[in-house]
Amino acid sequence: MEKHPQQVALITGANKGLGLEIARQLGQQGLTVVLGARQGKAAAPAAALRAEGLDAHDVELDVTSAQDIATLPTFFETQFGRLDVLVNNAGVQLDNGPDVSPDTLRQTYEANVIGPYAITQALLPLLRQAPAGRIVNQSSILGSLTAISQGQGGSWATPGYTSSKAALNMLTVVLAQHLADTPIKVNAAHPGWVKTDLGGDNAPLDVAEGAQTAVRLALLPADGPTGGYFHDTERLPW
Ligand SMILES: NC(=O)c1ccc[n+]([C@@H]2O[C@H](COP(=O)([O-])OP(=O)(O)OC[C@H]3O[C@@H](n4cnc5c(N)ncnc54)[C@H](OP(=O)(O)O)[C@@H]3O)[C@@H](O)[C@H]2O)c1
Protein backbone atom coordinates (compact mmCIF):
# COMPACT_ATOMS: atom_id res chain seq x y z
CA MET A 1 0.00 0.00 0.00
CA GLU A 2 0.95 3.68 -0.31
CA LYS A 3 2.74 5.07 2.68
CA HIS A 4 0.52 6.92 5.13
CA PRO A 5 1.21 10.65 4.64
CA GLN A 6 1.80 11.35 8.32
CA GLN A 7 4.14 9.96 10.90
CA VAL A 8 2.62 7.05 12.78
CA ALA A 9 3.22 6.32 16.46
CA LEU A 10 2.42 3.28 18.60
CA ILE A 11 2.01 3.92 22.31
CA THR A 12 1.68 0.88 24.55
CA GLY A 13 -0.47 0.93 27.67
CA ALA A 14 -2.38 3.84 26.19
CA ASN A 15 -5.84 3.24 27.62
CA LYS A 16 -5.20 5.50 30.61
CA GLY A 17 -2.61 7.41 32.59
CA LEU A 18 0.59 8.56 30.93
CA GLY A 19 0.14 6.42 27.82
CA LEU A 20 -3.19 7.99 26.91
CA GLU A 21 -1.81 11.48 27.47
CA ILE A 22 1.32 10.76 25.41
CA ALA A 23 -0.98 9.61 22.61
CA ARG A 24 -3.05 12.79 22.96
CA GLN A 25 0.00 15.07 22.85
CA LEU A 26 1.58 13.26 19.90
CA GLY A 27 -1.79 13.45 18.12
CA GLN A 28 -1.92 17.18 18.84
CA GLN A 29 1.50 17.44 17.17
CA GLY A 30 -0.06 16.02 14.00
CA LEU A 31 1.00 12.38 14.26
CA THR A 32 -1.32 9.50 13.64
CA VAL A 33 -1.46 7.69 16.96
CA VAL A 34 -2.18 4.05 17.60
CA LEU A 35 -3.20 3.26 21.14
CA GLY A 36 -2.18 -0.20 22.29
CA ALA A 37 -3.98 -1.80 25.22
CA ARG A 38 -5.10 -5.18 26.42
CA GLN A 39 -8.63 -6.58 26.54
CA GLY A 40 -10.06 -4.15 23.99
CA LYS A 41 -9.46 -1.26 26.37
CA ALA A 42 -7.94 1.08 23.76
CA ALA A 43 -11.08 1.38 21.60
CA ALA A 44 -12.95 3.89 23.79
CA PRO A 45 -9.98 6.19 24.49
CA ALA A 46 -9.05 6.15 20.79
CA ALA A 47 -12.63 7.17 19.96
CA ALA A 48 -12.38 9.93 22.58
CA LEU A 49 -9.20 11.25 20.95
CA ARG A 50 -10.92 11.19 17.55
CA ALA A 51 -13.73 13.25 19.08
CA GLU A 52 -11.00 15.76 20.03
CA GLY A 53 -10.09 15.96 16.34
CA LEU A 54 -7.05 13.69 16.46
CA ASP A 55 -6.17 10.84 14.12
CA ALA A 56 -6.30 8.02 16.65
CA HIS A 57 -6.60 4.27 16.22
CA ASP A 58 -6.44 1.29 18.52
CA VAL A 59 -4.78 -2.09 18.52
CA GLU A 60 -5.14 -5.05 20.85
CA LEU A 61 -1.82 -5.33 22.64
CA ASP A 62 -1.06 -7.14 25.84
CA VAL A 63 2.67 -6.52 25.98
CA THR A 64 3.17 -9.96 27.57
CA SER A 65 1.36 -11.75 24.74
CA ALA A 66 3.61 -13.18 22.04
CA GLN A 67 0.49 -13.65 19.93
CA ASP A 68 -0.52 -9.98 20.12
CA ILE A 69 3.04 -8.87 19.41
CA ALA A 70 3.27 -11.14 16.37
CA THR A 71 0.32 -9.35 14.74
CA LEU A 72 1.89 -5.89 15.01
CA PRO A 73 4.14 -5.77 11.91
CA THR A 74 1.29 -6.83 9.58
CA PHE A 75 -1.11 -4.45 11.33
CA PHE A 76 1.14 -1.45 10.70
CA GLU A 77 2.13 -2.55 7.19
CA THR A 78 -1.46 -3.03 6.05
CA GLN A 79 -3.08 -0.11 7.90
CA PHE A 80 -0.42 2.56 7.40
CA GLY A 81 2.56 1.17 5.48
CA ARG A 82 4.85 2.66 8.11
CA LEU A 83 5.77 3.13 11.76
CA ASP A 84 7.86 6.09 12.89
CA VAL A 85 7.59 6.20 16.67
CA LEU A 86 7.37 3.47 19.30
CA VAL A 87 6.68 4.48 22.88
CA ASN A 88 7.10 1.49 25.19
CA ASN A 89 5.00 2.97 27.97
CA ALA A 90 3.06 0.07 29.47
CA GLY A 91 4.41 -0.93 32.84
CA VAL A 92 3.50 -2.42 36.18
CA GLN A 93 4.62 -2.01 39.76
CA LEU A 94 3.56 -5.24 41.42
CA ASP A 95 5.79 -5.25 44.51
CA ASN A 96 5.48 -2.81 47.40
CA GLY A 97 7.97 -3.94 50.02
CA PRO A 98 11.53 -5.13 50.46
CA ASP A 99 10.77 -8.67 49.24
CA VAL A 100 9.33 -9.89 45.99
CA SER A 101 8.30 -13.44 45.16
CA PRO A 102 9.94 -15.02 42.13
CA ASP A 103 6.53 -15.23 40.44
CA THR A 104 5.86 -11.52 40.95
CA LEU A 105 9.37 -10.68 39.79
CA ARG A 106 8.79 -12.76 36.65
CA GLN A 107 5.46 -11.01 35.96
CA THR A 108 7.11 -7.64 36.45
CA TYR A 109 9.88 -8.48 34.01
CA GLU A 110 7.41 -9.86 31.47
CA ALA A 111 5.59 -6.51 31.34
CA ASN A 112 8.44 -4.05 31.95
CA VAL A 113 11.39 -5.68 30.18
CA ILE A 114 10.56 -8.62 27.93
CA GLY A 115 7.44 -7.00 26.47
CA PRO A 116 9.20 -3.80 25.38
CA TYR A 117 12.11 -5.84 24.04
CA ALA A 118 9.88 -8.17 22.02
CA ILE A 119 7.74 -5.32 20.67
CA THR A 120 10.82 -3.38 19.64
CA GLN A 121 12.31 -6.45 17.97
CA ALA A 122 9.09 -7.12 16.06
CA LEU A 123 8.75 -3.51 14.86
CA LEU A 124 12.38 -2.68 14.19
CA PRO A 125 12.22 -3.58 10.49
CA LEU A 126 9.43 -0.99 10.02
CA LEU A 127 11.19 1.59 12.19
CA ARG A 128 14.33 1.14 10.10
CA GLN A 129 12.34 2.14 7.01
CA ALA A 130 11.13 5.35 8.68
CA PRO A 131 13.03 8.54 7.86
CA ALA A 132 13.34 9.44 11.54
CA GLY A 133 12.53 6.42 13.70
CA ARG A 134 12.22 7.09 17.42
CA ILE A 135 12.00 4.59 20.28
CA VAL A 136 11.13 5.80 23.76
CA ASN A 137 11.30 3.46 26.72
CA GLN A 138 9.22 4.71 29.61
CA SER A 139 11.57 4.08 32.49
CA SER A 140 11.68 5.70 35.93
CA ILE A 141 14.27 7.38 38.11
CA LEU A 142 13.74 4.26 40.23
CA GLY A 143 15.68 2.38 37.53
CA SER A 144 18.77 4.50 38.14
CA LEU A 145 21.52 2.59 39.97
CA THR A 146 23.00 5.97 40.88
CA ALA A 147 19.78 7.34 42.40
CA ILE A 148 18.91 4.18 44.32
CA SER A 149 22.43 3.65 45.63
CA GLN A 150 22.33 7.25 46.92
CA GLY A 151 19.17 6.44 48.88
CA GLN A 152 16.71 8.24 46.64
CA GLY A 153 13.49 6.35 46.06
CA GLY A 154 12.65 5.62 49.71
CA SER A 155 9.87 3.09 50.11
CA TRP A 156 9.29 3.13 46.34
CA ALA A 157 12.64 1.37 45.86
CA THR A 158 11.22 -2.15 45.72
CA PRO A 159 13.36 -4.86 44.15
CA GLY A 160 11.04 -5.91 41.33
CA TYR A 161 10.10 -2.54 39.90
CA THR A 162 13.51 -0.90 40.29
CA SER A 163 15.46 -3.77 38.78
CA SER A 164 13.01 -4.08 35.88
CA LYS A 165 13.46 -0.41 35.02
CA ALA A 166 17.24 -0.74 35.36
CA ALA A 167 17.07 -3.62 32.88
CA LEU A 168 14.97 -1.50 30.54
CA ASN A 169 17.59 1.22 30.81
CA MET A 170 20.31 -1.20 29.74
CA LEU A 171 18.23 -2.36 26.80
CA THR A 172 17.95 1.29 25.81
CA VAL A 173 21.73 1.76 25.83
CA VAL A 174 22.49 -1.45 24.00
CA LEU A 175 19.87 -0.87 21.31
CA ALA A 176 20.99 2.73 20.79
CA GLN A 177 24.56 1.50 20.26
CA HIS A 178 23.35 -1.20 17.89
CA LEU A 179 21.46 1.44 15.86
CA ALA A 180 24.11 4.16 16.06
CA ASP A 181 24.66 4.22 12.30
CA THR A 182 20.95 4.61 11.54
CA PRO A 183 18.63 7.64 11.93
CA ILE A 184 16.82 5.83 14.76
CA LYS A 185 17.11 7.34 18.22
CA VAL A 186 16.49 5.28 21.34
CA ASN A 187 16.11 6.95 24.72
CA ALA A 188 14.77 6.24 28.19
CA ALA A 189 12.32 8.62 29.87
CA HIS A 190 11.58 9.39 33.49
CA PRO A 191 8.21 11.14 33.51
CA GLY A 192 8.53 12.52 37.04
CA TRP A 193 6.21 11.46 39.85
CA VAL A 194 2.82 11.68 38.19
CA LYS A 195 -0.78 11.35 39.40
CA THR A 196 -1.94 8.09 37.81
CA ASP A 197 -3.20 4.77 39.13
CA LEU A 198 0.47 3.77 39.47
CA GLY A 199 1.80 7.08 40.79
CA GLY A 200 -1.06 7.68 43.25
CA ASP A 201 -2.87 10.83 44.34
CA ASN A 202 0.03 12.41 46.21
CA ALA A 203 2.17 12.83 43.10
CA PRO A 204 2.99 16.47 42.30
CA LEU A 205 2.64 16.26 38.50
CA ASP A 206 -0.46 15.80 36.40
CA VAL A 207 -0.41 13.60 33.31
CA ALA A 208 -0.09 16.56 30.93
CA GLU A 209 3.23 17.47 32.59
CA GLY A 210 4.32 13.85 32.99
CA ALA A 211 3.79 13.03 29.32
CA GLN A 212 6.12 15.78 28.13
CA THR A 213 9.41 13.90 28.52
CA ALA A 214 8.33 10.96 26.39
CA VAL A 215 6.71 13.26 23.82
CA ARG A 216 9.89 15.31 23.49
CA LEU A 217 11.98 12.16 22.99
CA ALA A 218 9.47 10.84 20.44
CA LEU A 219 9.85 14.02 18.38
CA LEU A 220 13.60 14.57 18.67
CA PRO A 221 15.21 16.32 15.72
CA ALA A 222 17.96 14.63 13.68
CA ASP A 223 20.67 16.19 15.85
CA GLY A 224 19.02 15.07 19.09
CA PRO A 225 20.55 12.58 21.53
CA THR A 226 20.37 8.81 21.45
CA GLY A 227 21.16 6.29 24.16
CA GLY A 228 20.25 8.77 26.90
CA TYR A 229 18.07 8.87 30.02
CA PHE A 230 16.06 12.04 30.50
CA HIS A 231 13.54 13.90 32.60
CA ASP A 232 12.39 16.86 30.54
CA THR A 233 15.64 18.09 29.00
CA GLU A 234 17.74 17.04 32.01
CA ARG A 235 20.05 14.08 31.44
CA LEU A 236 19.79 11.61 34.33
CA PRO A 237 22.58 9.42 35.73
CA TRP A 238 22.19 5.71 34.95
N1 LIG B 1 3.13 7.64 37.45
C2 LIG B 1 4.40 7.79 37.79
O3 LIG B 1 4.71 8.55 38.75
C4 LIG B 1 5.49 7.09 37.03
C5 LIG B 1 6.82 7.38 37.39
C6 LIG B 1 7.84 6.77 36.69
C7 LIG B 1 7.55 5.88 35.66
N8 LIG B 1 6.25 5.60 35.35
C9 LIG B 1 6.01 4.66 34.25
O10 LIG B 1 5.07 5.20 33.35
C11 LIG B 1 4.39 4.13 32.66
C12 LIG B 1 2.89 4.41 32.69
O13 LIG B 1 2.45 4.34 34.02
P14 LIG B 1 1.24 5.21 34.59
O15 LIG B 1 1.79 6.01 35.70
O16 LIG B 1 0.51 5.87 33.50
O17 LIG B 1 0.38 4.06 35.27
P18 LIG B 1 -1.06 3.47 34.97
O19 LIG B 1 -2.08 4.56 34.89
O20 LIG B 1 -1.24 2.37 35.95
O21 LIG B 1 -0.92 2.88 33.49
C22 LIG B 1 -0.18 1.74 33.22
C23 LIG B 1 -0.55 1.30 31.83
O24 LIG B 1 0.21 0.14 31.50
C25 LIG B 1 -0.71 -0.82 31.03
N26 LIG B 1 -0.25 -2.19 31.17
C27 LIG B 1 0.22 -2.84 32.26
N28 LIG B 1 0.50 -4.11 31.94
C29 LIG B 1 0.19 -4.27 30.62
C30 LIG B 1 0.24 -5.34 29.73
N31 LIG B 1 0.65 -6.56 30.11
N32 LIG B 1 -0.14 -5.14 28.44
C33 LIG B 1 -0.56 -3.92 28.04
N34 LIG B 1 -0.66 -2.87 28.86
C35 LIG B 1 -0.28 -3.05 30.14
C36 LIG B 1 -1.97 -0.58 31.83
O37 LIG B 1 -3.06 -1.24 31.23
P38 LIG B 1 -4.27 -1.87 32.12
O39 LIG B 1 -5.23 -0.75 32.35
O40 LIG B 1 -4.80 -2.96 31.25
O41 LIG B 1 -3.68 -2.40 33.38
C42 LIG B 1 -2.03 0.93 31.73
O43 LIG B 1 -2.52 1.32 30.48
C44 LIG B 1 4.82 2.85 33.36
O45 LIG B 1 5.83 2.20 32.60
C46 LIG B 1 5.41 3.33 34.68
O47 LIG B 1 6.36 2.45 35.20
C48 LIG B 1 5.22 6.19 36.01
19 lines ligand 1 (CB under 6 A): yes
pLDDT beyond 80 at 110: yes
Say yes or no to pLDDT of 158 above 90. yes
Find out whether the beta carbon of 87 lies less than 6 Å from any atom of ligand 1.
Answer: no
CA of 27 relative to ligand 1 center, distance in Å: 19
Concerning whether 161 is annotated as a catalytic residue, the answer is yes
- Structural domains in the chain, CATH included, are 8-235 (3.40.50.720)
Q: How far is the CA of 63 from the centre of ligand 1 (A)?
A: 11
**Rounded mean pLDDT, 195-205:** 97
**87 bridge partner residues:** 11, 136
208-232: pLDDT as tens digits:
999 999 999 999 999 999 999 999 9
Tens of pLDDT along 17-76? Answer: 999 999 999 999 999 999 999 999 999 999 999 999 999 999 999 999 999 999 999 999
